[in-house]
Amino acid sequence: MAGGFKAGFVRLMQYLQDPEHVARFQRLCGVRATEPRDRLGNGAPYVRHEDVQNGGGDGIRRRDAEKEKRNNGVANGAAACTGDDAMGSTVKPMRRNSLTGDVGQDFLIENKLLYYLFTFGTELGNELFYISFFPYLMWGVDAFVSRRLVVVWVWVMYLGQCTKDVFRWPRPSSPPVVKVEVFYNSEYSMPSTHAMSSTAIPLSLLLITCSRWEYPLMLGVFLAVTWCVLVCLSRIYMGMHSILDIIAGVLYSLLIILIFGPALDTIDTFNQTHPYAPVLIVSLHLGLGLFSFTLDTWSTSRGDTAQILGSGAGIALASHVNYKVGLLPDPPMSMLPLQPPPFTLSLIGICALRFILGVIILLATRAVMKALTIPLVCRLFGIPSNDVRKARQHMEVELPYRYITYGTVGFNALFFVPFVFSHIGLL
């Protein structure tokens, strides 16, 4: 009985991991390859799970037949099309990786609406979103909510990135998958950290605010579910994850929130009030980073993890400083639940001005710190800095650069920017 259950479970996992499902979803959404490919973007050949049982003979014959079929399809498509409008627009993969130089292959988009929708969805898990969303909560909504949400985000993303480097599963193979995005193609696949963050952030936002703010609860649930589903589907659309990666990411995120969620109030209070909090914040985030970076080959995972830990440390330090100087104080419990202010032109204008000015300060901070730290660290460790792309792939450069740069960005987001706002009448 146990053996049969185990065999059935393994078959289910293999079925959910099959890249054919990803490719089928892409074709359903109007994504087509412009030319056949024989290899993965990360260098691994495409082999079905059932082909392993017979030494790959069936897989070789199948791939030969599929390759001939694709070649014929591409030739027929080229003969039938006289322009982009015949089959769709030819598009380059999103966000070329400046560190790996991977540019991917061209592909056809037959449904532009879905392309833009899923592009938006996948950006909800990228750096530009985080550097905009979290500060907006800090400056325009509720610093209390943003502090705790960042703690959850750091937990989820750190554990997700570490788990990827433990499993070391490759991305869905191409062919049959079309790589609509290539920026994260050098990372491992299991679990999907986009799925983890898109589960943790809206769910935690709902749990933190439901008893703190007055708003329609069902509207919050609908937005949280929509957010999660959109991001998860976008990762399959982009060709970055299998169905199994997505399911595992969602379940893993729920497990992390279930285990660590009760400690959220204690952690936030400690960060604000304990006299030794700054020392522990810096040492803990540095220790977690050094403990996790044992990659066999370089990928964007290491830098992203250092970036997340640095941001979390900077924001936690800023919460401690804010508490000491009385900046962005939490409202007394007697005022809860809070009511959203009425939307007026004046309120919209102030929020827009805060957001624009604040993001400019953060982007300037990132640019300045990046320009200062990379040459400095290269000189400190004797690494040539004439090729920045190669220099940043050295752990001695990447970790300090990411940690210091994004630690400063996080600190400025919660302390320096509100401090500026308070002195120019925007707070």
Give the span between the Cα atoms of 335 and 141, in whole angstroms: 15
Q: Could you confirm whether 320 is annotated as catalytic?
A: no
Candidates 21, 241, 285, 320; catalytic one: 241
Under 8 Å between Cβ of 56 and 142: no
d(CA 131, CA 261): 23
**Residues linked to residue 107 through DSSP beta bridges, in sequence order:** 33, 91
Beta strands in 80-211 (DSSP E): 89-91, 107-109
Cis link prior to 135 (omega < 30° from 0)? no
Closest by alpha carbon to 154, among 188, 91, 195, 201?
Answer: 201
Tokens of 17: 């991991």
Q: State how far the Cα of 380 lies from the Cα of 370, in Å rounded to an integer.
A: 15
Distance in angstroms (rounded) separating the CA atoms of residues 203 and 254: 9
Catalytic residue among 194, 274, 285, 423: 194
Extended beta strands in 3-161, E state: 31-33, 89-91, 107-109
Q: Pairing between strand 107-109 and 31-33? A: antiparallel
For residue 194, indicate whether it is catalytic. Answer: yes
Compute the distance between CA of residue 229 and CA of residue 252 in angstroms, rounded to an integer.
Answer: 16
Catalytic residues: 194, 241
